[in-house]
Amino acid sequence: MKAAGWGPRLVLCLILSGLWGCTPAPPPPPLSVTAAQQTLDNWNPTYCKVAQFYGFHQPGDAAGHTQVAYVSLVNPSDPLQKQMIYAAQFQLLTRPDGRQQWFLTSLTSHAGGLSRRQGWDNLMEAVK
């Protein structure tokens, strides 16, 4: 009979000891419009200059580790300054030292038609 009194205490002790080591993950550091635009402008300054920043979209990643920025880019050396719409994908990665940092990982456009993607999808440019 005495063992029955230990049941609730044991369960409570197990729950508390299990929660003791669990800490919620910190929220991801924010990705600002200014930081994203500066990264795009500095990534390839002879080819890429942000003409207009439309905004961010967070795809189905509920944790907030992916942000897609829609921007209009121009080639600064092009005399016509023709603007093209691009989707710039930024990923939040964890560095070996445990710090989280945003990276520009792709820059693509469907200007050639919906079936033709143009751009770069193998980038790894740190956002500063």
Buried (b) or exposed (e) across 85-116, using 16+ Cβ within 10 A? Answer: ebbbbbbbeeeeeeeeebbbbbbeeeeeeeee
Question: In the structure encoding, which two tokens stand for residue 33, read together?
Answer: 């419009």
Average pLDDT, the chain: 82
Given this model, what pLDDT does residue 77 score?
Answer: 87
Annotated domain spans of the chain: 33-126
Residue 54 φ/ψ, nearest 5 degrees: -85, -35
pLDDT tens digits along 38-48: 999 999 888 88
Answer whether 0.85 is exceeded by the pTM: no
Over residues 31-36, mean pLDDT = 96
pLDDT tens digits along 84-93: 899 999 999 9
